[in-house]
Structures are given as C-alpha cells and as structure tokens.
Amino acid sequence: MTEPIFHMLAGAPPPVAPYSHLVEVDGWLFVTGQIASEAEGDPLPDGIEAQTRKVMENLRRVLEGVGAGLGNVVAVRAFLTDFERDYALFNRVYEGYFAPGRLPARTTVGVTALARGGILEIDMIARR
C-alpha cells in the first residue's frame, strides 16, 4: 500500500471540523461528508431539494479538485435528519447526478443532528 495523500482543496468548502476534504490511497478516493455550506457562517439553503443540490455540487467540487468526478463514485452514505419527510425528494434530486444504470452502492440513514443544523450530509468512496 502506498502512503495516503491528504487533500485540502482550495476550491472546496472550508471544513467545519478538523478533517481533510479527501484522502487518496492506491487509487481509492475517500471523500469526507459534505453539508450544504459554501463558506463558514453562510446560511444553509432551505429544504431537502436545495440542500441535496448544494451537497452534490460540493462533492463534485472536491472530486474535480483531484481530477475525478461523480462517474468515479462507487459507494455513497447519506444521512438525513428527517428521513420520513425527506427521503423521496432526496432520491429524486440525487438520482439526476449519475448516469442511468450507473448508480453507486448506497446506504441512507436517519440521524438526530448534523453540523451547522444541516438536514443532509453525504460522503463518498470513489476509484480512479
């Protein structure tokens, strides 16, 4: 195994806790969970559809920062604070970010709270 590369990307949203945006090892890309923030202290968008779009765009920016994209994603974990209310709308928006028939493996769970009052967080594993 090669040494991991810990990426902090200038074009990605600033971290809300101590972490790297992405850790790369042997062609695997482990993308830290993103919420719907752009910069420290900015208001999060209202509603699951707007937050899903913002989270997916943040994840895309992180992947593009290392020369990859959503087409490289093999696994996703999504965390929703109001699972019953938001699951169906989240799925509709999320699905549009991937090519038909090329959806990553995914786990989606309901949680009690997320950073900065977000209602959605998503992390990813991708492969070059």
Find out whether 28 and 109 touch, Cβ atoms under 8 Å.
Answer: no
Domain count, the chain: 1
Burial degree of 67 (CB within 10 A; 0-12, 13-18, 19+)? exposed
Q: Is the pTM of this model over 0.85?
A: yes
pLDDT of residue 41: 67
Task: Tell which residue, 79, 89, 68, 94, has the closest CA to residue 12.
Answer: 68
pLDDT of residue 42: 80
Three-state DSSP state, 121? strand
Find out whether 75 and 105 touch, Cβ atoms under 8 Å.
Answer: yes
For 97, the domain range is: 5-127
pLDDT tens digit at each of 128 positions of the chain: 799 999 999 888 888 889 999 999 999 999 999 999 977 668 899 999 999 999 999 999 999 999 999 999 999 999 999 999 999 999 999 999 999 999 999 999 999 999 999 999 999 999 99
pLDDT digits (tens, 9 = 90+) for 64-91: 999 999 999 999 999 999 999 999 999 9
Say which CATH number the domain at 15 has.
3.30.1330.40
Task: Tell which residue, 87, 102, 33, 41, has the closest CA to residue 62.
Answer: 33
